[in-house]
Chain A
Amino acid sequence: MNAIKGLLVAVLVSLISVSALAEITLSTVAEVEKVTVDEEGNAVVTYVPADLVVPGDVVRYSITAANAAGEKPADKVVVTNAVPAEMVYLADSAQSSALGAGTTIEFSIDGGTSWGALASLVVTEADGSKRPAAASDVNAIRWKLNFSLQGGDTARVWYKAGLK
C-alpha cells in the first residue's frame, strides 16, 4: 500500500514538474581570497579561482540559482550547503544578494538535522557542559528565499570558509 502510494506521488511529482516547466539551474564557484596591499598601503581583496589552495587560505563559495526566462516562478527556494569537513565556516560570511523580501540564513551544527540563527544554537561538549555555538561549529548553512524566483531571475548566495 505504501509502495503504491509512493509510486503515485513520484508519478505525480514528475508529471507536475514537467508541466510546470520551472527550470532552476544551479552552479557553484569556489574562489580563493587573495589580499594584496596597494601603493597607498590599503589591503585589496581579490578572488581568484580556487586552483591553488593551502591550509589557512580562505575560500569563497558562490552559489547561483537561476530560473530560466519564461518559466513559472519557483517558490520556497532553499539552498542548502554542507560545509566541507576540511573547512571552517568564517563568522558572518554567509550572505545573499537580497532580492524581494530577502533571505533567511540559517545554520546547523549537527549536519542539517536542526537549524536556526547561529546565536540560538548550543553546543553540548563531551563532558555534558553547554556553550553557545561559534562560527567554527557550523557544518551546514541554508538560505531560504522569502520570495518567488521569477522566470529569468537569479539568486546568488555565498559564504566563506578557511581551509584547516
Chain B
Amino acid sequence: MFVKNSNIAGLLAAFALTVVGQAAWAVGTASTTPVDNTVTVDYEVSSVAQSQLSDTVQFLVDNKVDLTVAQVSDDNVIPNQANQVLTYSVTNTGNTEQGYLLSVENDGASDFAMNNVRIYIEDGTTPGFQSGEDTLYTGGTNAGDLDPNSVTPGDDTMTVYVVADVPPNGGGTSPADTEVSIYNLLATTTVAGSTTVQLDNSADAWAAGTVQVVYAEGTAGTNSSDADNDGQDSASATYTVVSAALTVTKSQAVISDGFSPAGFEKAIPGAVVRYTITLDNSTGGVAASAMDVIDDIQEDEVTYNADSVVVNGEAIDDGDTGTGTGLDATVTITDEGGAAEDDRVRVSGFIVPAGQSWDITFDVTID
C-alpha cells in the first residue's frame, strides 16, 4: 500500500513537472533571465591530469514584444438592432508582462458604419458579452496587463468585444441585406501597469547588462495604423446584415363584371376587383416578423367585400386570426372616416419566413 501511494505521488510529481515545463517552453524564456553557458577543459601534460579550467559567458534575455490580435467571432445583424457584438482575442505571445491600449476603426471596405461603437473587456465571470458585467473600455487607458510567464492559464490573453448599434438606430440609413461593416481592433503594447507605449531599442546603442526591447510581432494586421514589427497587432471582424429583404408590390385585376367572359372582365360598376399585395422575402436572410399591412381603399369608388381576405392561401374572416402554420395573421376591417363605410383593410401580426413570398388578396366591388 505504501509503495502504491508513493508511486502515485511520483507520477503526479512527474506530470506536474511536465506541465510546468511545457508552459515555460510555450511562452519563451522570460526577459531579464540570465543565460549562462559554462565550458570546462580537462587535459593532461606528460600523462598528468591538470587543473580543470572553466569559462562562462552570460547574456540577459531581452524583451521580445510579441502579441496576437485575432478575430473570434463575427455577427449577423438586422437594421436597428442595438448592442451587436464582435469578439476578438488579444494574446501576449512575447516573454514579458505588458499592458495594452485598444482602439477600433471601421475598415475602408465597409459598406456602412455602425453607431455607438464601444469596446468591452471580458471580466471572466460569465463567458460571452454581458453589458452589465463586462468592463467598458475607456480609450487611452491600459486594458489590462497580460503575463505570458504566469503559470495560471489565461493570464496571457483577454477577450475583447466591439459592441455597436446597427443603423438607423442612432441615426443613418438602414443598411441593405448582405452589406457588411468591418471593424479592425488594434492593440498597442504598453509597459505593464501603465499607458506608456513600450518602445523598442532598435535605434539605441546596446548597453552591457541591460534588457532591451525588440518588436517581434511580424507582419502588420488589418488596422491602418498597424505596421510590421511596431509593437501593435490588429484583426478584423465583420457585421453582416441579414435583414429580411422584403419587397412589397400591389397589383389588381378585375375578376368578374357579371357580363364579360373570363379573361375579358371590364372595370365597370358592379365589377369585382381583386387586389394582390405581394410580400416578397425570397432573398431575405431572416424572417420578416411583426408584419403589419395596411391598405386604405378608396371608399368613394369601391366597397370592400366582407370576409374576402386571403393570406398566403388561407381565407381569414374579418376580425379573425389565422390558424395555419406561421399564419397567425389578424384581419381587421375599420372605418377610418370619410363616408360611413369600411375603408381600411389591415392584416397584422404575422411572419413572412426567409426565402418565401406571400400574397395577401382581398376583393372590392366598384360602386
Which A positions have Cβ atoms within 8 angstroms of B? 12-14, 16-17, 20, 22, 24-30, 50-56, 59, 61, 63, 65, 72-84, 86-87, 126, 149, 163-164
Q: Known: A24-B50, A30-B59, A164-B28. Contact between A65 and B41, CB under 8 A?
A: yes
Residue ID in chain A nearest B96 by CB atoms: A54
Please state if A76 and B14 are interface contacts (CB–CB under 8 Å): no
B51: A residues at CB distance < 8 A: 13-14, 17
Residues of B within 8 A of A14 (CB): 51
What are 14 inter-chain pairs, A to B, with CB distance below 8 A?
A: A14-B51, A26-B41, A28-B55, A30-B57, A30-B59, A54-B61, A54-B95, A54-B214, A59-B59, A74-B44, A77-B42, A80-B40, A80-B41, A86-B35
Please, which residue of chain A has its CB at the minimum distance from the CB of B207?
Answer: A51
Bound CA span A144–B55, Å:
17
Which of the listed residues B28, B33, B41 has the most CB atoms from chain A within 10 Å of its own CB? B41
Interface centre among A13, A17, A84 (most CB of B within 10 A): A84
The interface bits of chain B over 34-46 (1 if a CB of A lies within 8 angstroms of the residue's CB, else 0) are 0111111111111
What separation, in Å, do the CA atoms of A30 and B39 have in the docked complex?
12
Q: Does B216 reach chain A (CB closer than 8 Å)?
A: yes
Question: What total of A-B pairs shows CB separation below 8 Å?
Answer: 137
Is B62 positioned at the interface, with any CB of A under 8 Å from its CB?
A: yes
Q: Number of contacting residues on B, CB 8 A?
A: 45
Candidates A20, A25, A27, A52; contact of B45 at CB < 8 Å: A20
| B46 and A20 contacting across the interface, CB-CB below 8 Å | yes
Considering the complex, give the chain A residue whose CB is closest to the CB of B64.
Answer: A54
- Mark interface residues in B161-205 (1 if CB within 8 Å of A CB, else 0): 000000000000000000000000000000000000000010000
Contact indicator B39/A28 (Cβ below 8 Å)? yes
Q: Are A126 and B45 in contact (CB under 8 A)?
A: no
- The chain A residue with its CB closest to the CB of B31 is A54
Q: Of B40, B44, B45, B57, which is within 8 A of A79 by CB?
A: B40
Other A-B pairs beyond A22-B43, A54-B216, 15, CB < 8 Å: A22-B45, A26-B53, A28-B37, A51-B208, A51-B212, A53-B61, A55-B28, A55-B29, A59-B59, A61-B39, A72-B45, A81-B39, A84-B35, A84-B36, A86-B29
Residue from the set B54, B59, B64, B201 with the largest chain A CB neighbour count within 10 Å? B59
Distance in angstroms between the alpha carbons of A75 and B49 in the assembled complex: 9
Given contacts A54-B214, A55-B95, A163-B29, A63 and B45 within 8 Å (CB-CB):
no
Contact B44 A75, beta carbon cutoff 8 Å: yes
User: Residues of B contacting A29 with CB < 8 Å?
Assistant: 57
| A51-B50 contact given A24-B43, A28-B39, CB 8 Å threshold | no
A55 to B215, CA, bound (A): 12
B98 on the A face (CB < 8 A): no
Cβ contact within 8 Å between B53 and A24: yes
Q: Name the one of A16, A75, A77, A164 contacting B29, with C-beta atoms under 8 angstroms.
A: A164
- B binding-site residues for A, Cβ under 8 Å: 11, 14-15, 18, 24-25, 28-29, 31, 33, 35-51, 53-57, 59-64, 95, 201, 206, 208, 212, 214, 216
- CB-based contact A52/B62 at 8 Å: yes
Give every chain B residue within 8 A of A77 (Cβ-Cβ). 41-43
Given A28-B39, A52-B206, A82-B38, answer yes or no on A17-B64 (Cβ-Cβ < 8 Å).
no
Closest 9 CB pairs of A and B: A55-B28, A54-B64, A20-B45, A22-B45, A51-B206, A77-B43, A74-B43, A16-B48, A81-B39
Question: Which of B25, B55, B60, B216: most chain A CB closer than 10 A?
Answer: B55
Q: Pick the contact of B39 from A12, A53, A63, A74 — CB < 8 Å?
A: A63
Contact residue among B50, B55, B63 (Cβ-Cβ distance under 8 Å from A17): B50
Q: Are A79 and B41 CB-contacts (below 8 A) given A54-B95, A56-B28, A126-B18? A: yes
A27-B55, A54-B62 known; A75+B15 contact, CB < 8 A: no
A78-B41 contact in complex given A53-B59, A53-B62, C-beta closer than 8 Å: yes
Q: Separation in Å of the A163 CB from the closest CB of chain B?
A: 6
Contacts of A51 in B (CB 8 A): 59, 206, 208, 212
Complex CA gap A34/B43 in Å reads 34
Given A65-B41, A77-B42, A52 and B35 contact (CB-CB distance below 8 Å): no
Residues of B close to A126: CB separation below 8 A: 11, 14-15, 18
**Docked pose: A77 CA to B60 CA in angstroms:** 30
CA distance A16 to B48 in the complex (A): 7
Q: How far is the CA of A83 from the CA of B201 in the complex (A)?
A: 28
Residues of A within 8 A of B208 (CB): 51
CB distance from B98 to the nearest CB of A (A): 14
Question: B38: which of A54, A55, A59, A81 is its contact (CB, 8 Å)?
Answer: A81
